[in-house]
Amino acid sequence: MALNDESLQELKAELLDELAKEVPSKSVLSLRLAETRSADIGEVLEEMIEDDEELPAALALLDILSAERAANVLGYLPGESQLEVVGKLDDSQVLKLLEEMGSDERADLFNLLNEDRREALLRRMAHREREDLKRLASYEEGTAGAIMTSDYVSIASGMTVSQAMMRVRQTAPDAETVYQLYILDSDGQLIGTMSLRQLMVARPGAIVDDIMIKDVISTRVDSAQEDVARIVAKYDLLALPVIDADERMVGIVTHDDAMDVAESEATEDFHKGMSIGQLEDGVSRVKLWSLYRKRVFWLVLLVFANLFSGAGIAYFEETIAAQVALVFFLPLLIGSGGNAGAQAATLMVRGMATGDVGVKDWGKLLGRELLVAGSLGITMAIAVTPIGIMRGGEALAMVVALSMVTIVLFGSLLGMCLPFVLERFKVDPATASAPLVTTLIDASGVVIYFSIATLLLTGL
Amino acid sequence: MALNDESLQELKAELLDELAKEVPSKSVLSLRLAETRSADIGEVLEEMIEDDEELPAALALLDILSAERAANVLGYLPGESQLEVVGKLDDSQVLKLLEEMGSDERADLFNLLNEDRREALLRRMAHREREDLKRLASYEEGTAGAIMTSDYVSIASGMTVSQAMMRVRQTAPDAETVYQLYILDSDGQLIGTMSLRQLMVARPGAIVDDIMIKDVISTRVDSAQEDVARIVAKYDLLALPVIDADERMVGIVTHDDAMDVAESEATEDFHKGMSIGQLEDGVSRVKLWSLYRKRVFWLVLLVFANLFSGAGIAYFEETIAAQVALVFFLPLLIGSGGNAGAQAATLMVRGMATGDVGVKDWGKLLGRELLVAGSLGITMAIAVTPIGIMRGGEALAMVVALSMVTIVLFGSLLGMCLPFVLERFKVDPATASAPLVTTLIDASGVVIYFSIATLLLTGL
């Protein structure tokens, strides 16, 4: 069964207890680790590594594991924790670990090391390994190249089914997946694909070229990782082949890595939706200074944007001074408009991220928003009218109700349109965050509310 | 290659053109459909089905496809579109489609039909099929049972490797995946698992029980679908076996379905973050009435919550009347507090959803937030001070700066703690939406601001 938090804590305590003994029993520890999954060991180690006092224990445990298992466990740790561990090991230990890691994880870790360490490690590698690592490490973060692995099963064009099957058995130990096979011509160009399932039911003497699927779904090495995740999800792929500018195959992105990308992209969008920049690590681990910087930028920018609301108020100071009761409804009105607008913006931003909403749908969605936001505005105006009458009489109630409809409708349309405008100007639509949208609506709401008040109340 | 929006539109236009001819060429259409992937045909059909005028074209295209292919394409359509199609078909056509669908998709579609139609279809099914369908259709939405398929490869305990391989070849055509095999004892209990890769490299005469992995990661049929997705992601599984209360195996959830669940759960959380209820369909397709209902509930509730801000203002009416310039800074201060608080809440809610933040981390995170929010407050206070001096002199500037620090700090701590409090009371932490958090901070901000103003300004 999968371990829950509690059993993970028990496991951790057990391991620490054993290690705290004068002569820890290596066989007890080995046994306990052998029966635990790498992902779970990873979670326990991650906690230990964070805690300076427990770090030696984490290193001792990694030392007990075989190099292959240790590399596997390391792959489940966030980059920062991997770096912490590698910092305590000498070059030959690191080399052994790198050798056993998947080629994608190897490149990720390598990219985190400092220049000197990288040079030292590269010098001790075989030529082929070195070139492969340098190539994988060179792809820009956030692209297909940076998340792909070069450990896939390639089949040469012209092979028979039984030759291909032999090749699968040979490559099985190292490949990330053996269930999808890629057929390459003599130039290394990707000309077809087939599943192991297809291969298994094919006639042994058949040529793979005759049974492969020729129209392969693939992606370019420089395409954005969120597009990679979307293709894998849309076509239910086990792995997506990656090709370079010359259509030569350079790697695959497996379904599990695509799922991880989708999750981290969603997290990034959640944060963007509140005007938080991209964090390098989880919120509980990221450095405080970084968290501050990623939050402060928009907050301060919006302080100045908020001055427009203040300016609006200053402009209507006379109206306000004449009827201070107006202020009572100010937070309510601009707050309601902001909420409705943030809803509309989020619906569009998420729809665009999942591919449900496209730029071409703009007209249709505008019409829909007009109807829905109008109904919302009227409902909220009805809700607020009795309070308006109670607080300031019928005239004030009319001002408030009218303002409510106008502000909610205006705010919703603004929130809905902003992501499309941003997309149009090649800015990430997720920039239409709740704080930005509500700040814009605050300023407009002030003007709308006090304009209506000045118009209707000064005549009465 | 994967098709982009433009080529999909071209494909659609081509198909519609051919169908508009007096005698459309079936072979032209067949060929075009044969070379297009089911996921892409699904996208084209989805658009056609939405448009009443194009619906007959969609039905004509489905009619050209083989039942197997049509069922496959149908699986890529949202439930509403499937229902639209099935509504135009007679029972025997629907039966043929259902037969060819994966067992999970079959159950989903079946659940959308009305009682009469369901009864009529069930009567015409074979006993075994009927029971399987009724069972799968009976699981509550949002659980492992509702997303699993019963088309997996089971191996009887005691089989040899070569017997198992034979079984794989036999079940291959119907199984969702043949790459992970499940070993069941005579009671149907799940006692082990192995990958096809392991099976392929094993000695043909070996007994599967001796080489299988006995500690299987599985989930209960009633566990929440988001937990299923999280387990699949954490352990990088191809499929997660599902067991009933008696530990009997009842199905598997495949990696692609888990990825779809993760996406729709993220979308739900995005919407919840703006106080929008769970939508039955994408934002561009969902019924307007439903969209209205899912948005209006919290909006109206928050109108009343916003009255607390109004009440606060009413309480301080004298202070305001004495210095109307105070109102200038009101939207700015409560807006800034709301933004910082919404950031803090979102960081926690998303962290909890991805498993990065647990209830046990509360103390540590509170300390971190105290430091970060304090720094944010001070920075924003510094930014606003010159404006305070310009608008109302040093005394007012001091009131505004002091209020800014206090409101941002208070708002951030409130936003950070609310998800934990909700989780504690078994309410979904995502209920701590930006609108709720900002409304709460608005009310508190009014009180904080005018209290400080009353204290400092009445003495001067």
Q: Is the pLDDT of residue A333 over 80?
A: yes
Residue range B5-138, CATH number? 1.25.60.10
Percent of chain B with pLDDT over 70: 99
B35: chain A residues, CB-CB within 8 Å: 215
Confidence of residue B381 (pLDDT cuts 50, 70, 90): very high
Mean of pLDDT over chain A: 91
Give the CATH number of domain A153-254; options: 3.50.50.60, 3.10.450.50, 3.20.20.80, 3.10.580.10: 3.10.580.10
CB contact under 8 A, B303 and A384: yes
* Domain span(s) for CATH 1.10.357.20 in chain B: 288-458
What's the pLDDT at A193?
Answer: 96
What pLDDT score does B244 carry? 93
Nearest residue of B to residue A247, measured between CA atoms: B1
Reported as a single tens digit per residue, the pLDDT across A178-191 is 999 999 999 999 99
**What integer best gives the mean pLDDT of chain B?**
91
Identify the pLDDT of residue B403.
97
Pairing state of beta strands B219-220 and B239-243? parallel
SS (H, E, C) chain B: CCCCHHHHHHHHHHHHHHHHCCCCCHHHHHHHHHCCCHHHHHHHHHHHHHCCCCHHHHHHHHHHCCHHHHHHHHCCCCHHHHHHHHHCCCHHHHHHHHHHCCHHHHHHHHHHCCHHHHHHHHHCCCHHHHHHHHHHHHCCCCEHHHHCECCCEEEECCCEHHHHHHHHHHHCCCCCCCCEEEEECCCCEEEEEEEHHHHHHCCCCCEHHHHCECCCCCEECCCEHHHHHHHHHHCCCCEEEEECCCCEEEEEEEHHHHHHHHHHHHHHHHHHCCCCCCCCCCCCCCCHHHHHHHHHHHHHHHHHHHHHHHHHHHHCHHHHHHCCHHHHCHHHHHHHHHHHHHHHHHHHHHHHHHCCCCHHHHHHHHHHHHHHHHHHHHHHHHHHHHHHHHHHHHHHHHHHHHHHHHHHHHHHHHHHHHHHHHHHCCCCHHHCCHHHHHHHHHHHHHHHHHHHHHHHHHCC
pLDDT at residue A459, rounded to an integer:
57
A-B contacts at Cβ under 8 angstroms: 334
Complex-level ipTM: 0.86
Question: Is residue B193 a contact partner of residue B216, using CB atoms and an 8 Å limit?
Answer: yes
Q: Cβ separation of B351 and A283 shorter than 8 Å?
A: yes
pLDDT at residue B346 tops 60 = yes
* CATH class of segment(s) B153-270: alpha beta
Q: Where exactly does CATH 3.10.580.10 map onto chain A?
A: 153-254
Cross-chain residue pair A299–B329, CB shorter than 8 Å: no
* pLDDT higher than threshold 60 for residue A376: yes
Nearest to B235 among A37, A267, A339 (CB): A37
Contact A365 B340 (CB under 8 A): no
Q: CA–CA separation, A160 vs A55, rounded Å?
A: 52
| Residues, chain B | 460
DSSP letter, residue A252: E
pLDDT tens digits for range A137-165: 889 989 999 999 989 999 999 999 999 99
- Chain A's closest residue to B307, CA to CA, is A332
* CA dihedral over B129, B134, B135, B140, signed as positive or negative: positive
pLDDT over 60 (residue B95): yes
> For residues A157 and B282, which has the higher predicted lDDT (pLDDT)?
A157
Q: Give how far A159 is from chain B: nearest CA, Å.
A: 20
Residue A460 has pLDDT above 50, yes or no: no
**pLDDT given at position A261:** 94
pLDDT tens profile B97-125: 998 888 888 999 998 998 899 999 999 98
How high is the pLDDT of residue A239?
Answer: 96
Better-scored residue on pLDDT, A212 or B35: A212
Give the pLDDT band of residue B1 (cuts 50, 70, 90). low
Each residue's pLDDT tens digit, A48-80: 998 888 999 999 999 999 988 999 999 899 888
Identify the pLDDT of residue B2.
65
Mean pLDDT check: name the lowest of A14-28, A437-451, B231-245, B288-302: A14-28
The topology under which CATH files domain B288-458 is Tetracycline Repressor; domain 2 (1.10.357)
CATH 1.25.60.10 residue ranges for chain A: 5-138
pLDDT tier, B459 (very low <50, low <70, confident <90, very high otherwise): low
Mean pLDDT is lowest, of A224-238, A374-388, A403-417, B49-63, for B49-63
Tell me if B35 and A196 make a contact (CB, 8 A cut-off).
no
Of B298, B303, B368, the CB nearest to A288: B368
Predicted pLDDT of residue B460:
46
Across the interface, do A321 and B320 touch by the CB < 8 Å criterion? no
Residue A1 has pLDDT above 60, yes or no: no
Residue with tokens 């305990």: B157
Instruction: Measure B37 CA to nearest chain A CA, in Å.
Output: 8
pLDDT above 70 for B378: yes
